[in-house]
Amino acid sequence: MKLLQIDASPRQDSVSRQLTSLFAANWKQQVPGGQVVHRDLANSPLGLVTDDWIRGAHSNPDQHTAAHRSALQYSDKLIEELQTADVVVIGDPMHNFTISTRLKAWLDQVVRFGKTFSYGESGPKGLVSGKKAYVLTSRGGAYPAGTPYAQFDFQEPYLRHILGFIGLTDVTFIHAENQGKPDLAVAAKAAAIQRIKSAVAV
């Protein structure tokens, strides 16, 4: 069994990193001999999509130039990590009501036609299947469904959609909310930790 742990926060002591580390530690206890592959997006050379990347991704491999292959090399590595994992855990802080820039850059590298999704007569089809995913977030506030604040949450809806688009449909979200409110942060983080422990133990 292999766990892919993805950390997107630029802060090394962030709450989201604490949550993914806890998840990985508990998972290893539950899965003796399990392998954890750690992709730290803050310390990885995540490049933006370039002209050569686009031309390479949308052409046949036998037409690729050296520049195309070089541009897609990192994308190929990230996709391999994703495809070979049995479980995926993503730690991401909410930035400006949505996902962090580093996680968006990772998604731009792995959401790739012919590799992680395709199109058929019935529409798009995700090619990353048979995996369980967890998204652990830290947020300054809280955005419960059914409240006026829910409309500001562009993080979970987007991630649920884009992960589902590539085939990751079994996704559990655990939010450490109210981390920007000292009087609520400790209890909210403790609640998230308990949910993580319960989720891994299943």
Q: Using one digit for the tens of pLDDT, what is the confidence trace for 41-85? A: 999 878 899 999 999 999 999 999 999 999 999 999 999 999 999
99-114 tens-digit pLDDT: 999 999 999 999 999 9
CA dihedral 107, 100, 81, 164 (to 10 degrees): -50
Number of domains in the chain: 1
Q: What is the pLDDT of residue 201?
A: 86
- Domain region containing 176: 2-201
Query: Once rounded to an integer, what is the mean pLDDT over residues 168-183?
Result: 98
The closest alpha carbon to 5, from 202, 201, 160, 200, belongs to 200
> Model-level pTM?
0.96
Which pair of structure tokens corresponds to residue 84?
Answer: 């070979």
CATH at residue 90: 3.40.50.360
